[in-house]
Copies of this chain bind each other. A is one copy, B any other.
Amino acid sequence: MSTTRDRIVDASAELFRRQGYAATGVKQIVTEAQAPFGSLYHFFPGGKEQLGAEAIRTSGALYELLIPAIFDPAPDLVTAVRMFFAGAATHLEETDYEDACPIATVALEVSSRSETMREACADVFESWIAAGASRHAEAGIGEARARELTIAMIAALEGAFVLARALRSTEPLQIAGETMAATVERALEG
């Protein structure tokens, strides 16, 4: 049984992911969460911004779990990269191009308007980078290069999501996945 607070955070995360921060109203959030309106300001006295920052951190942490979930069982690093992008493509298609990155939309729209939310997004990205870099480093890639590869990979994924959602096609995700797989392969050789 989920608590009211959790339902509010989850509903916020989902709505922010699909339509962004500004386009999502607090009324819509409590309706979607099947939560009483008063509870929102009880749990989040800082209002929409506090809720937004927490939703970003929560969904960011949840998405980060995909890294071990996909990389650990994979036979090798290159295969893992391929599977990560393929999984993203499948999920995007299955949700009719609604569920891309949980924080990218918000990251772009609030970076210049709310320092609190920008920091939340930055923390999530940094956490992803650290998690990805450690996987690359485990495979025998130097730490600095491992970090670079991870940043390149996240960038490729995020950008592919932008294109895929607008074009309603998974082609960008396939191409970005292959490109990054080849880049990682080369890093392992050299």
Contact = CB atoms under 8 A, between A and B. Distances in A.
Given A122-B167, A148-B175, A109 B19 contact: yes
Given A20-B20, A159-B157, A159-B159, A108 B152 contact: no
A71 interface: no
A158 B108 CA distance: 11
Contacts of A159: 154-162
Contacts of A19: 22, 109, 112-113
Given A19-B112, A22-B20, A108-B105, A175 B162 contact: no
A18 B122 contact: no
A28 interface: no
Interface string A96-112: 01101000110111011
A50 interface: no
Interface string A135-152: 000000000000010011
